Amino acid sequence: MTALSPQLKQATPVLAERGEGVHLYGADGRRYLDFTAGIGVTSTGHCHPRVVAAAQRQVATLIHGQYTTVMHRPLLELTDRLGEFLPPTLDSVFYLNSGSEAVEAAVRLARHATGRQNIVAFHGGFHGRTMGAGALTTSANKFRAGIGPMMPGVALAPFPTAFRYGWPQEQTVDFALNELDYLLATATAPDDTAAFIVEPVLGEGGYVPADERFLRGLRERADRIGALLILDEVQTGVGRTGRFWGHQHFVPQGPLADILITAKGLASGFPLSAIAASRDLMAQARPGSQGGTYGGNAVACAAALATLEVVAQEKLVENAAEQGDRLIAGLRAVAERNKAIGDVRGLGLMCASEFVDAAGKPDPATAARAQQEASARGLLLLTCGATGNVVRMIPPLVVDAGQIDEGLALWEESV
């Protein structure tokens, strides 16, 4: 009998048979409250009837039409609809399958457009596991050990994270931007730098929100040196943080990104990612340099179109903001009663509890125990952070107040 790779060993004993809304139903007959959403993917909940219907219709009509040979309606219609949510300056879209592929497409575009090589990424960032996206990823270095050399031309600067560096909170942004200036003056010359790539909220890095001054500081520096600013909204996009795009918390108006990357929640579970840029910029990708056999798959695009309709009609962005406030308030209350939780943070339905030991050091063992206890009680959670000491909650955007309260009660028992 063929065995599962050890990498696929089950994190929990749950064998999911079926999903509906915020719940998964296991082969063990149990119902689980899913606060993982397939790592932030099932934005409209599991098997939303409108997404299911759109995908089923598309499966029976045209499953795949490769975009280098034929165009199909779901891709065209999705592009129109997505354009209503994108900043107006980003008026051209290209499709791929996963977050990592989209990150690499953005890097290729930035290198082509600027004729420069270096990419500046930020400590604690996560941009994927492929050799290019992985080179930009430092949230958990263990996955890179022994597989290098990774993509060259990457320089790393601090993300403004006061607790990580022991910096005073009010000076963290200045310190981070000064470090970036130092990097530009030493490790990577400004005229070698193609782009900065940043997440509006560090995702796998432990749910650390960025800051208006930091993002504006990146924009200013990009303009000054002629580099591009790439926003990785793979985890934060499509309403997850209580705004349609995560960066809108910090810079609601005006152009910020040159290239915006989206994936995960875009198609409610179908593999689809996209990069958006201005038409002029997108035209600078050399012919044939972008793409992939399955990119912009017709069924995935139809599911994404239905997802965007559901997000708008069911007011899921607003719901993410409202339920996110409820969730984070509840998590803070739990943390006040539990010394093992040193920090609670997040934005919208991206909330995290950081576990520390008595000396204030990261405590991944207690975080893992809390996660397992929660799973045993029927609440599915994820860990993240450089050492895995952060337990995160990232429920589908359709979650309601009763489900938030139920999850919080199970969480309190678990910690």
Q: What is the DSSP string of 276-301?
A: EE-HHHHTTSPTTSS--TTTT-HHHH
From 14-22, 177-185, 197-205, 381-389, span contacting ligand PLP (CB under 6 A): 197-205
Q: What is the DSSP string of 42-58?
A: -TT-BT-HHHHHHHHHH
Give Cα 248 distance to the centre of its chain.
15
Q: How many CB atoms lie under 10 A from the CB of residue 38?
A: 18
The one among 235, 248, 375, 403 contacting ligand PLP by CB under 6 A: 235
When asked if residue 104 is in the footprint of ligand PLP (CB under 6 A), the reply is no
Beta bridge partners of 354: 343, 390
When asked if residue 232 is in the footprint of ligand PLP (CB under 6 A), the reply is yes
Nearer CB in complex with ligand PLP: 154/356: 154
Collapsed DSSP state (helix, strand, coil) of residue 185: helix
C-alpha to C-alpha distance for 132 and 168, rounded to whole angstroms: 33
Q: If binding means CB under 6 A, how many residues of this protein chain bind ligand PLP?
A: 15
Site string for ligand PLP, 242-271 (x = CB under 6 A): ---------------------x--------
Collapsed DSSP state (helix, strand, coil) of residue 255: coil
The one among 204, 258, 354, 363 contacting ligand PLP by CB under 6 A: 204
Closest distance to ligand PLP from the beta carbon of 247 (Å): 12
Nearer CB in complex with ligand PLP: 39/62: 39
Q: 185 CB contacts (<8 Å, ≥6 apart)? A: none
Which residues inside 25-64 make contact with ligand PLP, applying CB under 6 A?
A: 39
List C-alpha distances in Å: 337 to 2, 350, 354, 404. Answer: 47, 21, 14, 18
Which residues inside 106-135 make contact with ligand PLP, applying CB under 6 A?
A: 126-128
Nearer CB in complex with ligand PLP: 103/415: 103
Nearer CB in complex with ligand PLP: 90/335: 90
C-alpha to C-alpha distance for 82 and 356, rounded to whole angstroms: 41
The one among 14, 103, 257, 356 contacting ligand PLP by CB under 6 A: 103
When asked if residue 203 is in the footprint of ligand PLP (CB under 6 A), the reply is yes
Closest distance to ligand PLP from the beta carbon of 321 (Å): 20
Collapsed DSSP state (helix, strand, coil) of residue 371: helix
List C-alpha distances in Å: 133 to 104, 126, 205, 228, 237. Answer: 6, 8, 15, 17, 18
When asked if residue 234 is in the footprint of ligand PLP (CB under 6 A), the reply is yes
Nearer CB in complex with ligand PLP: 39/150: 39
Task: State the amino acid at position 4 in one-letter form.
Answer: L
Collapsed DSSP state (helix, strand, coil) of residue 31: strand
Closest distance to ligand PLP from the beta carbon of 361 (Å): 25
When asked if residue 390 is in the footprint of ligand PLP (CB under 6 A), the reply is no
Nearer CB in complex with ligand PLP: 211/373: 211
Whether 128 contacts 103, CB under 8 Å: yes
N- to C-terminal Cα separation, the chain: 39
Binding site for ligand PLP (CB under 6 A): 39, 98-100, 103, 126-128, 199, 203-204, 232, 234-235, 263
